[in-house]
Amino acid sequence: MIAAIVVTLVHLAFALAITPVLIGVMRTVRARLEGRVGGGVLQPWRDVIKLFAKEPLRAPGSSAVLIWAPLLLMASSLVLCALIPLVSTLSLPGAPGELFVVVSVLLLGTVALAMLGLESGTAFGGMGSSRHMMFTALVEPTVLLSIYALSLPAGTSTLTAIVRARRDDLSTLLNPVSILAIVALIVVVVAETGRLPVDNPSTHLELTMVHEAMILESGGRDLGWLEFGSWLRLTALLGLTVNLAVPWAIASDASATALLIGAAAAALKLVVAAALMAAVEVFIAKLRLFRVPELLAGSFVLAFLSVSASYLVF
Amino acid sequence: MNLVDAGLYGVLVGGAVAVAAAVVLRGRARNVIAGLSVMAVGAFAAATGLAALAGMVGTGLVIPVSLPLVGGLDPLVLAPDRLGGFFLLLAGLVIATSALFGIGYAHGAAASRTGWTGFAVFAVGVALVPTAADALSFLLAWELMAIGSTVLLLADHAERQAVRAATMWYAVMTHLSFLLLVAGFGVLIAAAGGTSWSRMVTIAEPVASVAFVLLIAGFATKAGLVPMHVWLPRAHPEAPSHASAAMSAAMVKMGLYGILLVTLRLLPTGPSWWAVVLVALGAISALYGILQASVQSDLKRLLAYSTTENVGLITTAIGIGLLLHQSGQQAAAEVAFIAALLLALSHAVFKTTLFLGAGAVLHATGERDLDQLGGLAARMPVTALTFGVGALGAAALPVTSGFVAEWVLLQALIHTDAKADRLLAVVMPLTMGVVALTIGLGLLTFVKAAGIGFLARPRSEAAARATEVGFTMRAALVAAAGLTIGLGLIPGPLAQLLAGAVGATGIATSGLTGIQLGGLGTVILDPLVLTGLTAAMLAGIVIVNGIAARRHPRREVDLPWGCGGERTSPRMEYNATSYSEPLARVFGASLNTRRSVEIEHPEDAPLLVSGMVFNQETVDLVEDRVYVPAARLAQRLGDLARTVQNGSIHRYIGFSFAALLLVLVLVTR
């Protein structure tokens, strides 16, 4: 019990510490590849601190959603980081990192964001919210099916147990079922966190933006929470994917050495994955809005094949 | 006489008092006394249901019947078993809540003598259906429910033409359902030699399959499964809101009770295609229902389609349970059945909240078109909050009953061993995909319903003038929303009770309040722990936020950014139609969306644009492709008959003569 609480706290601290660095790395890689200098790896930290030192505005007649949605997004992202096996596979006894629980916590954050977009009362907010929810709806089958596929060899839908089983049994890592499911999951991460080619994270004020459109009317600490919350989602989802794909060196107890090794390994995996993601993003353009469902349908097919293959072939 | 029997008498007496109050009293007194009596009916039903669910058995109400020339009639028996008790509990909760809402809400024709009598008769009918222990009393209660609801539905027929059309659809579909049930039970009675359920347990094939098809078709019509769902999106919007809530949350469930009655109790050893039929019926209904719901802009119509979706999910769960049962995976099958029951109860409570919320909005603004609403969160905080809770439930998000129910369903799917069974290997991933897409689209639908309806700025004068509704309506909303949250926070004891209703073992309470699905390994969901975890995070965030807020307080500005300019007219906001436009485009083929753009030009300058009219409507595909051609065919046959019946007296004399000849020939043979 105490070990589990320690691990949860370590997860939270790790996520809070690494997230801005991760975003900084992605931006720097992108800048360097485009021939710019970039703001440096610590720029996201400075951005957030700046935002918290500014006063937020509110329009007359706006409701409590304006104030609470950013906080809820942040809370949902933190719970996500606590539940997902980032550094260690230990989990809280009453709240194992169960697949559907994790997904629904993620969705709570999504809903908070979408409601905020609608609350802003401008065309942009509604537009972003509508598109974001459409992507979420279409990505949902892929999420559930791909983790369903990964859960079959482990015999459980608890993420910690899946990661542990994959670490201990190499044969589950390098088979078509697992590879198909991981590819499908990568598409999910891209769509859920609004990266290219689904949404352009570095855009501002263009008609095709999705995430930026929803947070357009927020400022000050509201925007700070929104930014940080969204980044944390990237850390959590990317962390889950890399730990599923490359489950080595993740801690399985709460001893200091194991946790240190786990944290260092997780940081390394995350930074490499983020750098790769940013490097790939340089070479691709944003998809047309109505081509995105095709991408998501494709990822659904991969996930479906993965489940059927695990039943019928392996 | 124990609690179960006393409760049944209570239901009947309460109904009688309500009818008497509706007839004798007038004005406000009628609303209050009749409403309270119907609430008592609901409370008695819920108490009886709970007692029966917990395993208490009464002697029941036994009414011996005999008809001349008809032998083999068993007495009419009203005695709920555990499964019936569950549905009685569900119906009782819904009736009590919607009657409470009705006290403040009913006005005009819904508050008339006929309106309240209809509601009372309907409530008693709904409560009696799951108590019936034989086919005859089941059909009688079923018809009572149908008549009461039809009268209720007709309430506003003088004001709105649409009400009459809706009632016509409803009456036709509900009687189609009744006829199918009479035929189905007729087959069973003939084979069993009696009307009591207890006799109908040893029916052999092929009689069983014939009865199955007839009964499932009948129950599916009442439950609103595709393609028999067409009455839902017409009847629910036009009925008074407390009646819509009771119809959608309680009456539709009786169709599901019927499906469970047939598959679990009367014909428990069916072939596997029965299960596949149920899964397919359910999956198609779930997807089609939520797709249609996501593009509706009429709030109550949206909720009606979402009922089809939820009923579809429940039917899928029942089908999955049967399929797993037949392949010998008893533990997973029991979890699927529990999931079906949890989904049913969860839908009952959140749909009551949502329909009553829609009623409150309608009461306050006179609008149910989302495109005319907005900004209600600041004007009707209680309604907004409770509607939000209901929407969370409908979107199956924590910590609501909807989340727990779908979690249990997904556990049943994911813990299936399909390696040995090709059928399962195909059905399970497909079902998972359908359920996941349904959840995703449900999320969009209810973000739209709550966000467009209650947030941002009002889109019409009526919405801008709205004020919070009265005490009884708020009380009903809070009660229904409280149940939605309560069942989500403390699902364990209920799941344990339900396990008894379907004879499941291994489902237990974990910790204080969580669910443990013992048969599937140690699968645990403890919403209280999750809520505690989230609350801890939120507390930390709020503290940090508070510190920042002390240094830099929030400022209210008359001129917010509005994208760099002055706030534009509320007409520029995204509305419900535009919100679902991308989705309507992606699923265009299955939604049957028609849109037209008309551009007007000034007379002297054909290249300039003076105005544009955009119109988009979604016509129900099934209605368009199945029911309209069928109606046209019937019309054509009728026209053909008219050539025979043309009103000429000579021809009729000729017919009489021919008939006489025919009779003579037959007699002399």
Selected residue with higher pLDDT from A218 and A202 = A218
Could you tell me the pLDDT band of residue B182, with boundaries at 50, 70 and 90?
very high
Show the CA angle centred on residue A123, arms to residues A48 and B356, nearest 5°: 100
Q: B272-294 pLDDT, tens per residue?
A: 899 999 999 999 999 999 999 99
* Average pLDDT value for residue range B227-245: 92
ipTM: 0.94
Residues 267-306 of A with CB under 8 A from B: 289-290, 293, 300, 304
**What was the pLDDT predicted at B564?**
47
* Contact between A121 and B580 using a beta-carbon 8 Å cutoff: no
Under a CB-based contact definition with an 8 Å cutoff, are residues B361 and B370 in contact?
Answer: no
**What was the pLDDT predicted at B59?**
79
Give how far B539 is from chain A: nearest CA, Å.
Answer: 9
Is B229's pLDDT higher than 60?
yes
Summary mean pLDDT of chain B: 89
**What was the pLDDT predicted at A76?**
95
B interface mutation test: which of A52, A101, A122 has the most B CBs within 10 A? A122
* Contact between B377 and A65 using a beta-carbon 8 Å cutoff: yes
Could you tell me the pLDDT band of residue B352, with boundaries at 50, 70 and 90?
very high
Selected residue with higher pLDDT from B37 and B418 = B37
Strand-pair partners of B556: A58
Flag whether residue A223 sits within 8 Å of chain B, measured between CB atoms.
no
Flag whether residue B578 sits within 8 Å of chain A, measured between CB atoms.
yes
* Contact between B378 and A63 using a beta-carbon 8 Å cutoff: yes
Can you tell me the distance from the alpha carbon of B227 to that of B292, in angstroms, rounded to the nearest whole number?
A: 13
Could you tell me the pLDDT band of residue A22, with boundaries at 50, 70 and 90?
very high
**For the CA atoms of A294, B289, B413, A150, what is the dihedral angle to 10 degrees?**
20
B interface mutation test: which of A118, A215, A223 has the most B CBs within 10 A? A118
* Contact between B533 and A92 using a beta-carbon 8 Å cutoff: yes
Name B324's Cβ contacts closer than 8 Å, sequence gap at least 6: B330, B332, B333, B336, B412, B416, B424
C-alpha distances in Å from residue A295, one per residue of A105, B436, B441: 24, 17, 18
Residue whose pair of structure tokens reads 């645990």 in the numeric block: B524
Q: Is B615 helix (H, G, I), strand (E, B) or coil?
A: strand
Give how far B15 is from chain A: nearest CA, Å.
Answer: 42
**What was the pLDDT predicted at A1?**
78
* Contact between A289 and B582 using a beta-carbon 8 Å cutoff: yes
Can you tell me the distance from the alpha carbon of B214 to that of B182, in angstroms, rounded to the nearest whole number?
A: 9
Phi, psi values for residue B509, rounded to 5°: -85, 130
Flag whether residue B557 sits within 8 Å of chain A, measured between CB atoms.
yes
**What was the pLDDT predicted at A205?**
67
Cis peptide preceding B206, ω within 30 of 0: yes
Residues of A within 8 A of B454 (CB-CB) are 63
Residues of B within 8 A of A145 (CB-CB) are 429, 432-433, 436
* Average pLDDT value for residue range A187-215: 84
Nearest CA in chain A to B546: A221
C-alpha distances in Å from residue B232, one per residue of B1, B67, B125, B177: 40, 37, 19, 14
Flag whether residue A37 sits within 8 Å of chain B, measured between CB atoms.
no
Give how far B471 is from chain A: nearest CA, Å.
Answer: 22
Size of chain A, expressed as the number of residues it contains:
314
Q: B526-581 pLDDT, tens per residue?
A: 888 889 899 999 999 999 999 988 888 888 876 555 554 455 677 788 888 889 88
Residues 138-177 of A with CB under 8 A from B: 138-141, 143-145, 148, 151, 155-157
Q: Is B612 helix (H, G, I), strand (E, B) or coil?
A: strand
* Helix, strand, coil % over all residues of chain A, rounded to 5: 70, 0, 25
How much of chain A, in percent, has pLDDT values that exceed 70?
A: 99
